[in-house]
Chain A
Amino acid sequence: MTAIRRSTNQRSLRVFALPLAAALLAASCGGGGDDAAPDDQVVTEDSTGDTAPADDAAPDDAAPDDAAPASSIVDDDTSDGSPVEETLPPEENLEPVAGGTLRYGLTAETNGINPTASALSVNGLMIGNAVFDTLAALTPGGGWVPYLAESFTPSDDFRSWTMKLRPNITFHDGTPLNAEAITVNFESQRAHPLVGLAVKPFFPDEGAVTIVDDLTVIFNLLEPDAQFPSAAMTGQLGMVASPTWLEAAAADGALNQAPIGTGPFVFDSRSEDSVTRFVRNDNWWNGDVYLDAVEFFPVPDPDARNDLMFGGEINALHTTNQASTLDLRDDESIQRVENDAGEESFAMINSSVPPFDDIRARKALTLATPVDLYNDLIALGVNRPANQMFIPESPFYNPDVVQEHDDPDAAVVLAAEYCAERGTDENTVLGTPTCTDGKINIELQWSGPAVVQTRIADLLDEGWSVAFNVTFNELLEDEHVQQTAFGQYNVNTWRQFGAANPTGDNVWLMCRTIGGISLNWPRFCDEQRDALILATMAEPDNADRAPLLQELVQRIHDDYLYILFNHTLWTNAFAEEVHGVCERTAPDGTLLECATNGRTWFSSVWID
């Protein structure tokens, strides 16, 4: 099978609502079993977002020369380093046929499938793709097009956006899609105590959405946002659910498990921890749907997921597990879409509690981190090491920013210096002094139980132990997110910064998202950095944004809050008989993005 590779041009725009919701609400009962980062925890949504698509597409030959893993023990068949690799054949000569069931292996079960009340992790979003449509959709070049909406029009200052809906669309229950439905969806999300956290910082208390006529609404923003539709409307916030159903689900929580949207598939049945099934919507507004049904199987163990695929029990899966990725690459009959333009894996430091309120302690931890070993042993050389949140192909990449690591001697010196001066402060997370015997006492948190997570903890401990006494604290995913949101941690392992549009990652960085519950997890406030962030949001043109974002990346690096390991690589794999994964189009025929951050769509898929 020939591999068609294309280089995406950039991390494009991305919005707050999505990541936030996903991050905090991170559902999934199965625990984060999959891979090297807190699994699915902070799943942001790829959105792209260029209002001016033509001129800022990066050249196709932008493939980087530094893409190979920095240090691998053995040469292996890593990809050529481009952020997206596809092995799906072009479908020109094949006529789609109707029928068949797509059986998809997911990394975990999701708690509920209500985009206004559930934390949609990547798995929730994937299931959502079957039953909901988003207002805008991503295109492969890093752009976006209106999808369920007919058009988006910004005001001159990008402070408000007018959205017009397509006429004559109804939800599966017969409720019409209109301005009222949009308002109900938006307000439900904003009213949610967690999802709302991500929405509120960017909208006024009153008049965030105003209805113009039955099919037109205006979104009013607090600050200019030049990429609003691509960032906000292509992910969870862009999914529109039936208002009738939302109302019923608010009264009877059980209905959250039986979603109703406008999407290509209609909810059929759900048996938690086993299978969730959707059947074809014969009256879909955007054309014909081929598959009879889509079934989702949560399989937290990546090996088991692969085994099911090789055994023919499922015909599609997604994974970030490196060993699984290698096995999938070895099987010629399996088609893959790989993409590492999304999140980064890293260790994250809480700057609000001693010892890490002191930059010397943060720097010591950074220098003691065995990143090379991590990428060799845990990531198996599959992922590209990360220096910053942008991949080298990104127009915003700053070549001067390099992630420090593997310098234990310097770490020991810094830790000794810190301990001599502040060794008697109290580490309130552990309830101990910050130092014992010249080493800094810290707690490492991660979400589990998962074998890989334990391996990572052991590996980090092995490196950090030169200058730190590390206490372990493995928590269930929900608890892990809670402790992090409330600042009750010293350092943890995390995955984030997947925003296609850097705007979407702002919610993690700004002073205004620090509070009782923080989304600025490290609880680090820098007014100048905030000013810079607002400046990037107001700028519609990538060429103008690039220097600002490069400066931002430098600032983030200099504060030593994130110890970056690598760029997360998502692999979506499909059995031989699956076709049309990348043939999804908008009503005007524009080809749409087929895989972002582990998610794919189903309306164009068919099976022979």
Chain B
Amino acid sequence: MSEIELVADEITNQDDASPEAELITRRLGWAFWLCVCWLVVIVLAAVLAPWLPLKDPNANLVNRDLGRPPYSPSSEFWFGSDQDARDVFSRTIFGARVSLTVGFVAIAFGMVIGGTLGILSGYFRGWWDRIISFAFVVLLSFPALVLAILITSLLDRGLMTISLTLGFLAIAPVGRLARATTIQYAEREFVVAARTLGARHPRIIIRELLPNVVIPMGALALLGMAVAIVAEGGLAFLGLSVQKEETWGKLILLGAGSRDLEKSPWISMAPIFILFLTVLALNFAGDKIRAYFDVKETAL
């Protein structure tokens, strides 16, 4: 979780234009587009899953010719089947629906709440800023995973609870970044100009600051989404993830016993692989976007 924090720190420190920024070309590069392609594919597959010609992810497709499940990967079961003869491929796709939802809702929530608080405290400063900044520090000094298990075990384990819990954890790091960026821009010429021209606070915040703050936050959003998806997996490992729907974390856990690892590794390895690729794509794309916009900023 506090990887977000690290990234946020890295981003805030970024403006002392590192020489490396010069080395990065102003293009995003083919690897970036490969990542975007993967993300588009996985998001489309997740959204369209019910209409795709996939096997029912919950059906026990016992096939007596194949012996006792789990069945190894074949033309019938692309990624093999799990212990209960359910198709790992279609479960992984359906699992993406929940995992991506968790990641998206979590980071969107963190962005909206954390971003708003951060911009406001960075713009107005004063006591308001002190209180909010202090609240961020309080939140950051909880170990994130402990806070997550505390909340989920005291509340329930619905999809929204889990997503919002992870989103809650994102508030502080996102907020700190938004605040730092806002402070940085609040003194810039165009803001000062707008203010001297008599623009009102809401207008300055929305028209002048927000567009500038959103850019570094966009990069953070991709990285944060990756962190949220992994955090859900961590919760699943501790038995505290979403109750009824399948998630990547739960699918991995299903095959993570040493016996299954040895005899039917595909049960856990297939979702690990997809999760891994997705997180990698999110991290890589986020990193590239960050570098790309940093260059643009210094060009301003």
Contacts and interface: CB of A to CB of B under 8 A. Distances in A.
13 contacts: A31-B239, A74-B68, A303-B260, A323-B259, A376-B68, A377-B60, A377-B83, A377-B84, A451-B254, A451-B257, A458-B58, A471-B244, A472-B243
A603 interface: no
Given A73-B67, A458-B58, A462-B60, A377 B257 contact: no
- A-B pairs, 10 with minimum CB distance: A449-B239, A303-B257, A303-B259, A303-B258, A472-B244, A74-B68, A377-B84, A472-B243, A74-B67, A73-B68
Nearest to A73: B68
A327 B259 contact: yes
B206 interface: no
Please classify the interface of chain A as helix (H, G, I), strand (E, B), loop, or mixed, using the class held by over half of its residues: helix
A448 B60 CA distance: 22
Given A303-B259, A451-B257, A458-B58, 6 more contacts: A377-B62, A449-B239, A449-B240, A450-B239, A451-B253, A473-B243
A382 to B, nearest CB: 11
A306 B253 CA distance: 18
A39 to B, nearest CB: 13
Contacts of A86: none
B111 to A, nearest CB: 31
Contact of B258 (A307, A376, A458): A307
A471 B257 CA distance: 27
A451 B60 CA distance: 17
B250 interface: yes
A306 B263 CA distance: 14
Interface in A65-94: 73-74, 76
B23 interface: no
A255 interface: no
A454 B67 CA distance: 23
Contacts of B254: 451, 454-455
Interface residues of B, number: 24
Nearest to A470: B244
Interface in A228-271: none
A156 B84 CA distance: 56
A448 B239 contact: yes
Contacts of A327: 259
Given A462-B60, A473-B243, A455 B258 contact: no
Contacts of B259: 303, 306, 323-324, 327
A304 B258 contact: yes
A539 interface: no
Please classify the interface of chain B as helix (H, G, I), strand (E, B), loop, or mixed, using the class held by over half of its residues: loop
A302 B260 CA distance: 12
Contacts of A459: 60, 84
Contact of A377 (B69, B157, B239): B69
A474 to B, nearest CB: 6
B296 interface: no
Contacts of A472: 243-244
Contact of A455 (B67, B84, B238, B239): B84
Given A455-B84, A474-B243, A373 B258 contact: no
Q: Which of B68, B85, B259 has the most CB of A within 10 A?
A: B259
Interface in B132-170: 157
Nearest to A471: B244
A46 interface: no
Interface string A444-478: 00001111001100110110000000011110000
B59 interface: yes
A100 B17 CA distance: 67
Interface string B197-218: 0000000000000000000000
B62 A373 contact: yes
A450 B250 CA distance: 11
Interface residues of A, number: 34
A140 B163 CA distance: 56
Nearest to B56: A462
B246 to A, nearest CB: 9
Q: Which of A301, A370, A450 has the most CB of B within 10 A?
A: A301
Interface in B229-269: 238-240, 243-244, 250, 253-254, 257-260
A380 interface: yes
B51 to A, nearest CB: 21
Interface in B69-95: 69, 83-85
Contacts of B85: 377
A451 B83 CA distance: 11
A411 to B, nearest CB: 17
A130 B54 CA distance: 55
Contacts of B60: 370, 373, 377, 459, 462
Interface string A31-60: 100000000000000000000000000000
Contacts of B84: 377-378, 455, 458-459
A302 B64 CA distance: 27
B69 to A, nearest CB: 7
Interface in B30-74: 58-60, 62, 64, 67-69
Interface in A290-305: 301-304
Contacts of B67: 73-74
A493 to B, nearest CB: 15
A302 B67 CA distance: 24
Contact of B257 (A76, A301, A473, A474): A301
A301 B261 CA distance: 14
Contacts of B69: 377
Contacts of A473: 243
Nearest to B239: A449
A448 B244 CA distance: 13
A461 B58 CA distance: 9
A306 B262 CA distance: 13
A156 B69 CA distance: 58
Q: Which of A302, A376, A377, A462 has the most CB of B within 10 A?
A: A377
B300 to A, nearest CB: 51
A449 B249 CA distance: 14
Nearest to B85: A377
Given A74-B67, A301-B257, A455-B83, A462 B58 contact: yes
Contacts of B258: 303-304, 307
Contacts of A303: 257-260
A481 B64 CA distance: 38
Contacts of B58: 458, 461-462
A188 to B, nearest CB: 33
Contacts of A377: 60, 62, 69, 83-85
B71 to A, nearest CB: 11
Nearest to A448: B239
A302 B259 CA distance: 9
Contacts of B83: 377, 455
A471 B244 CA distance: 8
A289 to B, nearest CB: 35
Nearest to B253: A451
B233 to A, nearest CB: 14
A76 B68 CA distance: 10
A306 B258 CA distance: 10
Nearest to B67: A74
A450 to B, nearest CB: 8
A558 to B, nearest CB: 30
Contacts of A373: 60, 62
B222 to A, nearest CB: 31
A377 B240 CA distance: 25
Contacts of A323: 259
Nearest to B59: A462
B153 to A, nearest CB: 9
Nearest to A461: B58
A295 B169 CA distance: 42
B240 A73 contact: no
A363 to B, nearest CB: 23
Nearest to B153: A476
Contact of B62 (A301, A376, A458, A471): A376
Nearest to B240: A449
Contacts of B260: 303
B198 to A, nearest CB: 56
